[in-house]
Structure formats: structure tokens, C-alpha cells
């Protein structure tokens, strides 16, 4: 159902802000950032709430005139994505990227790094064939799903996140669930998910971050990822919908703190 239909029939609706397109559109099409942000704020503020995945993004959006911010984290299948004895790419260290192969993902910042071992890129997109030619020593697997994707994570030593435009990065959680340390820039998304020096390394020097991430304890990384269950994500989503309904009816939302389940945080990994 479209926003127009919702407004016509008096049905409350919420939106989700999950990609930093204003920055990308501004640089790509030479449009003033202020125009793009203003247009997006007008669109999102028309709803009963804006679901945002991270605290840092929520603070930025509030400063840019967005209102009715609602927290909504993501979940990951920690049964599928888990540590396992598998080696799809041979001897390491293996530095892995998973995601869409497109210019806004800044993948070349990873591919240009001077790293030991090998680099692996999992995914498809408009830049795939171009990068294959430009970086013949990199392993490009194409798109992977399910068990094959889980094996790719488990076969790597470090997950490298070169993007500076993500607002969350579900692939970070998938990697962490497999016990994989993360190397990333200190930007929105990684700074909210990665505990520096524990589950990954955040640095403006991505190569330095990748080298240092090799030293991290993979068991601790797995334990942290278990906090991001699908159950917790679903409970937050339902709480946001309830808030939107109360607001539409002009009623005050009951003051209570949503207690998210933590039982998965201590669950033993399934190998």
C-alpha cells in the first residue's frame, strides 16, 4: 500500500531510513546536499515514525530536521551463520567482502590494499565485470546465498567493510556471527555494531584495521553477534507499530521499557 493510500484512508504508516543516498546522489548528480536532505525529511516526516537502525544515524537525522525517530535494529540467523571447519579459498589469511558490487560501496578501497594472503569478493552488481578485469588476482565468486554464503564467511579470516554510506550493514552481523573480525572505517553503521578492539577494528587507515583485526578473539566476536536475534528485531518492529497506532489515535504511549530477550546471548554455537 502506498503512502497516498494510507493517508487517504487514515491508516498510520512508518518509514525506514537505511541508506545514505543523499550523500551519494549529491556527489553523483551535483545536486546540493541540503536539497536532497530537505526532500527526504519532507517525505519521511509525513509518516507516523521513521525506523532507524543505529543511534549515530538517529542523532544525525534529528539534527537534519527528521522527527519521530524509532529504533529498529536488525537480526541475523545465528544458526546458519556460525563458525565451522571449512576452507573454500585455500590458505589464508583470507580477507573477505560481501555485498553489492557497485560504485557507492567503495570496494576499490579494499581491493587496493596491500594485504597478505588473498582477497575474496562475494556478490554481484554493475561493477562486477569491470573489477574482475581490473583486479585479476582477486577471487570473485558472484552472488552466494544460504549455506554457500555461510561457508564463505567461515572460510575467511577478516571481513573488510569499505563502504562509507551504509546506515547499518547486515553483512557485518553475518560476519560476526561466523566469528569473523571486522575491519571498517569509523562511520555510521560500523561504529554502532563493531566494538573497537573486541569484535573489529575501526580506522581511517583501512589496511591497518585489516591487519590488526587478524589478532582478535573469534569466540568473543561470536558471543556479541548472538545478541542480534531475529526475535529482538521483531519485538522492536511491533513496538514501533504500536507507537504509530497510539499516535494516530491521539493517545499517549504507555511508558514502559521494551525488554528484549537476551537468552540467545549465552546460547552455545551450533557447529
Extract the runs of DSSP E, i.e. beta strands, from 61-124: 69-71, 94-98, 118-122
- Asked if 72 contacts 51 with a C-beta cutoff of 8 angstroms, the reply is yes
Residues 242, 180 share a domain:
no
Our measurement of the distance from residue 142's CA atom to the centroid of its chain's CA atoms, rounded to an integer in Å, reads: 20
Q: Is the pLDDT of residue 41 over 90?
A: no
Residues 248, 186 share a domain:
no
Task: Please give the average per-residue pLDDT across 152-156, as a whole number.
Answer: 97
Q: Which domain holds residue 121?
A: 94-225
Residues 129, 109 share a domain:
yes
Give the pLDDT of residue 196. 93
List residues bridging with 227 in a β-sheet. none
pLDDT band, residue 107 (cuts 50/70/90): very high
pLDDT band, residue 210 (cuts 50/70/90): very high
pLDDT band, residue 251 (cuts 50/70/90): low
Within a domain: 80: no
Q: Is the pLDDT of residue 245 over 80?
A: no
Query: In the chain, what percentage of residues exceed pLDDT 90?
Result: 46
What are residue 142's phi and psi, to 5 degrees?
Answer: 80, -170
Average per-residue pLDDT in the chain? Answer: 81
Lowest mean pLDDT among 24-38, 142-156, 191-205: 24-38
Q: Are strands 118-122 and 94-98 parallel, antiparallel or unpaired?
A: parallel
Residues 128, 7 share a domain:
no
Q: Give me the number of domains the chain comprises.
A: 2
- Asked if 232 contacts 260 with a C-beta cutoff of 8 angstroms, the reply is yes
Measured between alpha carbons, how far is residue 174 from residues 52, 75, 135, 238, 261 in Å? 19, 9, 26, 23, 19
Give the pLDDT of residue 70. 75
Higher pLDDT, 187 or 54: 187
Say which CATH number the domain at 207 has.
Answer: 3.40.50.2000
3-state SS track over 191-203: HHHCCECCCEEEC
pLDDT band, residue 92 (cuts 50/70/90): confident
Within a domain: 83: no
Report the range out of 46-60, 119-133, 229-243 with the highest average pLDDT. Answer: 119-133
- Asked if 242 contacts 14 with a C-beta cutoff of 8 angstroms, the reply is no
Grid coordinates of 150: 555461510
Amino acid at each position: 500500500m502506498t503512502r497516498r493510500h494510507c493517508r487517504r484512508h487514515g491508516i498510520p504508516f512508518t518509514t525506514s531510513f537505511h541508506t545514505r543516498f543523499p550523500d551519494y546522489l549529491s556527489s553523483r548528480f551535483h545536486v546540493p546536499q541540503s536539497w536532497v536532505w530537505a526532500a527526504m525529511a519532507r517525505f519521511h516526516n509525513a509518516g507516523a515514525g521513521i525506523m532507524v537502525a543505529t543511534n549515530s544515524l538517529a542523532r544525525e537525522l534529528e539534527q537534519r530536521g527528521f522527527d519521530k525517530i524509532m529504533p529498529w535494529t536488525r537480526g541475523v540467523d545465528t544458526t546458519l551463520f556460525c563458525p565451522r571447519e571449512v576452507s573454500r579459498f585455500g590458505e589464508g589469511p583470507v580477507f573477505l567482502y560481501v555485498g553489492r558490487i557497485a560504485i557507492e560501496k567503495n570496494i576499490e578501497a579494499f581491493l587496493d590494499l596491500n594485504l597478505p594472503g588473498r582477497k575474496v569478493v562475494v556478490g554481484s552488481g554493475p561493477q562486477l565485470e569491470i573489477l574482475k578485469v581490473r583486479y585479476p588476482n582477486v577471487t570473485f565468486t558472484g552472488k552466494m546465498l544460504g549455506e554457500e554464503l555461510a561457508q564463505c564467511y567461515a572460510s575467511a579470516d577478516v571481513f573488510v567493510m569499505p563502504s562509507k554510506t551504509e546506515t547499518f550493514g547486515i553483512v557485518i552481523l553475518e560476519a560476526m556471527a561466523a566469528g569473523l573480525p571486522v575491519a571498517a572505517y569509523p562511520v555510521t553503521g560500523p561504529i554502532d555494531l563493531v566494538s573497537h578492539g573486541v569484535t573489529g577494528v575501526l580506522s581511517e587507515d583501512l589496511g591497518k584495521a585489516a591487519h590488526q583485526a587478524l589478532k582478535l578473539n573469534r569466540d568473543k566476536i561470536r558471543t556479541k553477534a548472538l545478541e542480534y536475534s531475529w526475535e529482538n528485531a521483531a519485538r522492536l518492529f511491533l513496538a514501533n507499530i504500536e507507537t504509530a497506532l497510539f499516535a494516530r489515535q491521539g493517545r499517549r504511549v504507555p511508558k514502559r521499557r521494551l525488554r528484549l530477550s537476551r537468552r540467545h546471548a549465552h546460547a552455545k554455537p551450533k557447529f
